[in-house]
Structure 1
Amino acid sequence: MHSDLLIVGAGYAGSVTARELADAGHRVHIIDKRPHIAGNAYDELDEHGVLIHRYGPHIFHSNGERIFEYLSRFTKWRSYEHRVRGVVGGASYPFPINRDTLNKLYGLDLDDAGAEAYFERVREPREPVLTSEDVVLNTVGRDLYEKFFLNYTRKQWGLEPSELKAGVAARIPVRVNTDDRYFTDRFQAMPLHGYTKMFEAMLDHPNISVELEIDFAELRNIDRYQHIVYTGPIDTYFNYCYGHLPYRSLRFEHEHLPNVQQYQETGTVNYPNDHAYTRITEFKHLTGQTHSGTSIVREYPQAEGDPYYPIPRTENESLFKRYEELASKETRVTFVGRLAQYRYYNMDQVVGAALTAAKQLIG
């Protein structure tokens, strides 16, 4: 048996790394300051018996066969393709924007070529494309930008699209066909019995011990561990010596609606221009659960609270680089995950980063 390792955080980054190290023969102790495993992917039955995602919707999608097969060791899957609508002027439209969005919004009858020509006609060419505003205006022009993106971005990030790096908007495609799926990845599915069950299976190993409601900052005697894998905010680890890295937080407003079979037509509906919340998700779409009622969640972005999204701005990246330089000198610590690497990772990307980190540690 190899020496002990400590892993800080029982979300994807920590749990995948823990399992890989345990399978390689290492004894692993994993801690989390929350009272549960699975990080932000944590799901549970609410008091009405509906399976909900406590920290907002998590939809697995990936083009990585290796990552999908890896997670398939710990769960069976339910095939699910996520669809989103955007409410503009009281009407609901497919989002991301596609040909049906154009035809319904403007009373047109475009085919694929007509939609492509429409976008070409209305776009505002930007060179170089540096910001999220540049991306959207360069692709769909000002009217669609103002209807679907501008106010949503303001709510989501508390910033103007012109203040955010191009990668934020580049995550959202624009289509000339009628494909209304939010993602087009090869693998799109939900863990059949939920994410928490998948994490339970992942951490079910004789070499893994789990301790919850433990804050790393309050942990004593960490010298007994041969190595530490840290998945929390990198600026917290270094006691904010260069200042706080900016993150965007969320407040979730969960609601159960008794005797309502279906609240909305798709899993998620965006509200770019109305209300203080950005979107509503109805979980039964995602899980396929049968229940006499339904449970929804509204998301309210906010500046304060648990860190969810690294804010993609050039000055924030520069600040992170200073922390990254400190991290590179920590020979006994590996930093991995969205918060530790200050990257806007999807779930599959976190799994990939954790598999890479584990491989390097195992040698």
Structure 2
Amino acid sequence: MRTDVLIVGAGFAGSVCARVLAEAGRQVLIIDKRDHIGGNAYDKVDEHGVLIHPYGPHIFHTNAKRIIEWLSRFTDWRFYEHRVLASVDGQLLPIPINRTTINRLYGLDLDEEGVAAWLERVREPRDPIRTSEDVVLNSVGRDLCDKFFRGYTRKQWGLDLAELSASVAARIPTRTNDDDRYFTDTYQFMPADGYTAMFRRMLDHPNITVQLNIDYFAIRDSVQANHTVFTGPIDAFFDYCYGKLPYRSLRFEHQHLPDTEQYQAVGTVNYPNDHDYTRITEFKHLTGQQHSGTSIVREYPQAEGEPYYPVPRPENEALFKRYEALAEQRRDVTFVGRLAQYRYYNMDQVVGATLKASITTQENIRKK
């Protein structure tokens, strides 16, 4: 098997890189061990006719105009602002925490200035801020921390807030107004025909060949490629020579409710303190699909299984740096994506990192 470029993984990183290199005139073979393209962003119509995300909800949002413009070559968009409620003390309350959350939870009637003053009174100043616990206590204090964050984090990561890097909790803001949007990015859209349709158009190029159900590690010695783009776990590529990098996995429990047009008021409801699952997502909110029934998914975080999330801790970052040093010695391989770069990337960040990496890849290929 011979090709200019072998790309391992047909998710965002692999597919974006494939398109860029194909348009630069490279013959690209992209493989994936799964039976579909799109990676974890893959979507499909379930047996009841509802468009679902088998690997959990994927909501696209970005502040980068160049990224939305690049992807717009392959999809039209549906405007969608994601909203999340958290089940706390018998109520469904907005998360991120805002004025509505605080007033309803504590029976108050504060304006924006009042909320800011209230938060200032209850917060526990932390300096320096090293952990996610530091971030949350410094922002909202202990009671809100315990009600909204501590239990959710324990389920999601299998760790306490104090054991996670500050970057995890820093992703979630606190607001003094009534803005109940989960994201505030300039561009908040869903692919109008779904993610899989977008990936299909992205990979529709005469210089791109797609082969599925192929495990790279089973064929790596039989493929002759001038360059390889690897989007899988970087520790696996190097045969775990320094030990395994920790990843967090998920188990998804999908359910169809045939006689229910709407199961919950918003796209996602978090359960920080109840149940073994972290959240329930109802897909029709995300897609805008009309259907007499509805399909939902419950997410159960777990230690074993497919790697979904790098675990952000200083010791894990130190281990990754050892693998990264090996990767930097390989001019014949580009490592890009959440697993290959051991980064808790959003989708737009993966696209941005891949567009940047594609430039370096082309330079390395030209130097051969």
Both structures adopt the same fold (TM-score exceeding 0.5): yes
Tell me, what secondary structure is at the counterpart of 2:269? strand
Within-5 A mapping of 1:79-158: 79-158=79-158
Aligned length: 362
Deviation at 1:191, TM superposition (A): 0.2
Counterpart Cα distance in 2 of 1:277 and 1:171 = 21
Counterpart residue number, 1:168: 168
Within-5 A mapping of 1:1-363: 4-222=4-222, 224-363=224-363
- One-letter amino acid of the structure 1 residue matched with residue 96 of structure 2: P
Q: What runs of 5+ residues in structure 1 fail to find an aligned partner?
A: none
CA separation of 1:227 and 1:106: change in aligned 2, threshold 3 A: same
CA contact (8 A) 2:3 2:29 kept: no
For residues 169-193 of structure 1, the C-alpha deviation after alignment (integer angstroms, 9 at most, x for no partner) is: 0000100000000000000000000
Counterpart Cα distance in 2 of 1:95 and 1:362 = 43
Tell me, what secondary structure is at the counterpart of 2:193? coil
Tell me, what secondary structure is at the counterpart of 2:190? strand
- One-letter amino acid of the structure 2 residue matched with residue 35 of structure 1: D
Tell me, what secondary structure is at the counterpart of 1:297? strand
Counterpart Cα distance in 2 of 1:339 and 1:211 = 21
Tell me, what secondary structure is at the counterpart of 1:61? strand
Tell me, what secondary structure is at the counterpart of 2:285? helix
CA contact (8 A) 2:98 2:177 kept: yes
For residues 216-255 of structure 1, the C-alpha deviation after alignment (integer angstroms, 9 at most, x for no partner) is: 1001545520000000000000010100000000000000
Tell me, what secondary structure is at the counterpart of 1:355? helix
Deviation at 1:151, TM superposition (A): 0.3
- One-letter amino acid of the structure 2 residue matched with residue 80 of structure 1: Y
CA separation of 1:128 and 1:70: change in aligned 2, threshold 3 A: same
Tell me, what secondary structure is at the counterpart of 1:227? strand
Counterpart Cα distance in 2 of 1:4 and 1:321 = 29
TM-score, structure 1 normalization: 0.99
Per mean C-alpha deviation after superposition, the further-off stretch among 211-220 and 284-293 is: 211-220
Superposition RMSD on alpha carbons, in Å? Answer: 1.0
Tell me, what secondary structure is at the counterpart of 1:307? coil
Counterpart Cα distance in 2 of 1:141 and 1:276 = 25
- One-letter amino acid of the structure 1 residue matched with residue 185 of structure 2: D
Counterpart Cα distance in 1 of 2:233 and 2:312 = 15
Tell me, what secondary structure is at the counterpart of 2:316? helix
Tell me, what secondary structure is at the counterpart of 2:232? coil
Tell me, what secondary structure is at the counterpart of 2:58? coil
Counterpart Cα distance in 1 of 2:198 and 2:273 = 37
Counterpart Cα distance in 1 of 2:355 and 2:145 = 38
Q: What runs of 5+ residues in structure 2 fail to find an aligned partner?
A: 364-368
Tell me, what secondary structure is at the counterpart of 2:210? strand
For residues 257-313 of structure 1, the C-alpha deviation after alignment (integer angstroms, 9 at most, x for no partner) is: 001010000000000000000000000000000000000000000000000000000
- One-letter amino acid of the structure 2 residue matched with residue 212 of structure 1: L
- One-letter amino acid of the structure 1 residue matched with residue 339 of structure 2: L
Counterpart Cα distance in 2 of 1:299 and 1:359 = 37
Deviation at 1:210, TM superposition (A): 0.3
What percent identity do the matched residue pairs reach?
A: 70
- One-letter amino acid of the structure 2 residue matched with residue 162 of structure 1: A
Tell me, what secondary structure is at the counterpart of 1:225? strand
Moved over 2 A (4+): 220-223
Tell me, what secondary structure is at the counterpart of 1:184? coil
Counterpart Cα distance in 2 of 1:325 and 1:358 = 19
Deviation at 1:362, TM superposition (A): 2.2
Counterpart Cα distance in 1 of 2:191 and 2:162 = 37
CA separation of 1:61 and 1:343: change in aligned 2, threshold 3 A: same
